[in-house]
Structure 1
Amino acid sequence: MSGLQRDPSDYKTHLLKASGALRQAIRTAEHSGMTSGLAPGLVQGNVVILPADWAGDFLTYCQNNPVSCPLIAVSDVGNPALSGLGRDIDIRHDLPEYNVFRHGELVETTTDIGALWQDDMVAFVLGCSFSFEDALQQAGLSVRNIDMGVNVSMYRSNIPTVPGGRFHGDMVVSMRPFRAADAIRAVQVTTRLPKAHGAPVHLGDPSLIGIADLATPDFGDAIELRDGELPVFWACGVTPQVAVRNAKPPICITHVPGKMLITDLLNAELSIL
């Protein structure tokens, strides 16, 4: 039975116990690594945290770019809780690692942002490709980065996004290799999850989207491309970090690529079917 068809009753109870334990491990810094392949069946989220006077522009940016920035939650101003995603979530403590940007420059990574939290901050949570990785596996497809136990490969592309206020920039894409028949199946599976980036934005020659060398990703780890395989590219939730560098807000806090928020939502709840 696929991950998109499971009965959410006992299955969700089991998953919530697992997600609660994992968030606790993250909160206490017992786990600060990547979350790809962890908490299968549950939605993971990219995170962007901004002062309220920048939040309107960023919301517009997300609305203008729903493939790169599929919005699944926005916090109230100054409230670190996101009860719609999980009753005990506290965005100040529940990511394995955070990037801290000041005026567009990455100045710090940290495992906790309690000391950086401001009363005017707004947290945005965006859907993540790790959700569709679970669906791909449930469909019988091998996901190379999970098989290798490494982070997914992510690249800056030349695909423009639509500006939103002060936010603008090109799309970041993630790549997973498949043989042609499996690539077609991957398109079918991920199309059903638009809140997790949906269908790929490009297949094949990476130079057509401005990627010179697959062996040197801009974020994450290099993934082996084997004979007979196509590189398949999806929009990536690291895209906002490029837009943040361009917009230069006084402070912005994001997830470290590959280290996501674990929610209590089922991936099935993101499916359009």
Structure 2
Amino acid sequence: MTPLAFRRNVRQGKFTGPTAGQCEGYVQANLAILPQAHAGAFRQFCELNDKACPLLAISNPGEWTLPTLGEDIDIRQDVPAYWIYRNGEKTEVVHQLVDVWRDDLVVFALGCSFSFEHLLLREGIPVRHVELGGSAPVYVTNRPNRPAGPFAGNLAVSMRPLAPADAIRAIEITSRYPGVHGSPVHFGDPSAIGIGDLGRPDFPGIADVRAGEVPVFWACGLTPQVALLGAKLDFAVGHAPGHMLVTDLRLDQAERSEALPVRSAPQVDPASRL
């Protein structure tokens, strides 16, 4: 299925689940949507923490299309599920944003590690949450982000359990794709990055580490949502964990040798700049 056909299925309510394993070879994107007044500081936050927040595109205020990422994208309807935040609390899980859309909202699309999982599978490297039809578990670490304006918090990471030899090969493969998080940030002892219990992820997913495997952690595009929670904005939106925007970008555009098509900065209130 093409990404366009997949997005239309999402828009029509025919697909509402996690997007891991969908449209292999194409880039998937995390989302953060927030008021224009905070867009300048949020862009700076992403640029300061680009391992977790690799920018793919930024909309102009009020726009829900992202033409550099794909044909006929409607960001209000083309993601299987969204989380809505109000004053630092998650208040709703919805499947469309038409009813809550505002003219001052700016969309940030960020690269997602789901984009490279088919490469691991082709190498015979198992991806547990894809095998089991779910999403990767995500944990908030003890590693602080570099702050910008009201945005700070700690790095979030997604986890995939791998045999040691597979982990080494996965590092080699994923390091070529910095636009979708690139190589892992840690593997082995979870406590070294502040994770006390792999069985209790901060964002839901399949945490199934078996005998002979080590947990491998990639920087995660839920890091911005951790920052959004801490900023306590009056209104913000993120994708529901594991439920991404599937773009028309080919994965090879996320390789080190080719720049991704980040749009120019949105118009922002000068008072929001640092």
Give the alignment's TM-score, normalised by structure 2. Answer: 0.91
2:115 maps to which of 113, 116, 131: 131
Task: Tell whether the 8 Å contact from 1:214 to 1:222 is kept in structure 2 after alignment.
Answer: no
Q: Secondary structure at 2:20's aligned position in 1? A: coil
Residue identity over aligned pairs, in percent, reads: 47
2:23 is matched with: 39
Residue 56 of structure 1 aligns with an amino acid whose one-letter code is G
1:24 is matched with: 8
Q: Does 1:241 align with 2:201?
A: no
Q: Does 1:54 align with 2:20?
A: no
Q: Secondary structure at 1:80's aligned position in 2? A: coil
Aligned-residue Cα RMSD (Å) equals 1.1
1:89 maps to which of 58, 63, 73: 73
Runs (5+) with no aligned partner, structure 1: 1-16
What is the number of equivalent residue pairs in this alignment?
257
Q: Secondary structure at 1:264's aligned position in 2? A: strand
1:173 is matched with: 157
CA deviations on 1:114-159 (whole Å, 9 max, x unpaired) are 1111111110000001012122223332111111112111111111
1:115 is matched with: 99
Residue 45 of structure 1 aligns with an amino acid whose one-letter code is A
2:169 is matched with: 185
Q: Secondary structure at 1:76's aligned position in 2? A: coil
2:192 maps to which of 189, 208, 229: 208
2: CA distance, partners of 1:222 / 1:95: 21
> Greater shift after overlay, 133-142 or 102-111?
133-142
Q: Does 1:99 align with 2:83?
A: yes
CA deviations on 1:182-239 (whole Å, 9 max, x unpaired) are 1111111111010111111111000111111111211122332111111100111111
Task: Tell whether the 8 Å contact from 1:225 to 1:231 is kept in structure 2 after alignment.
Answer: yes
2:241 is matched with: 257
Give the alignment's TM-score, normalised by structure 1. Answer: 0.92
Q: Secondary structure at 2:106's aligned position in 1? A: strand
Task: Tell whether the 8 Å contact from 2:4 to 2:71 is kept in structure 1 after alignment.
Answer: no
Deviation of 1:28 after TM superposition, in Å, equals 1.2
1: CA distance, partners of 2:19 / 2:229: 24
1:3 is matched with: none
Q: Does 1:76 align with 2:60?
A: yes
Task: Tell whether the 8 Å contact from 2:28 to 2:114 is kept in structure 1 after alignment.
Answer: yes
Task: Tell whether the 8 Å contact from 2:25 to 2:116 is kept in structure 1 after alignment.
Answer: no
Q: Secondary structure at 2:41's aligned position in 1? A: helix
Deviation of 1:21 after TM superposition, in Å, equals 1.6
2: CA distance, partners of 1:55 / 1:255: 17
Runs (5+) with no aligned partner, structure 2: 258-274
Q: Does 1:267 align with 2:251?
A: yes
Runs (4+) off by over 3 Å = none
CA deviations on 1:52-84 (whole Å, 9 max, x unpaired) are 101111001000000010101001111111000
2: CA distance, partners of 1:185 / 1:133: 13
2: CA distance, partners of 1:247 / 1:224: 32
Deviation of 1:165 after TM superposition, in Å, equals 1.1
Q: Does 1:142 align with 2:110?
A: no
2:49 maps to which of 31, 54, 65: 65
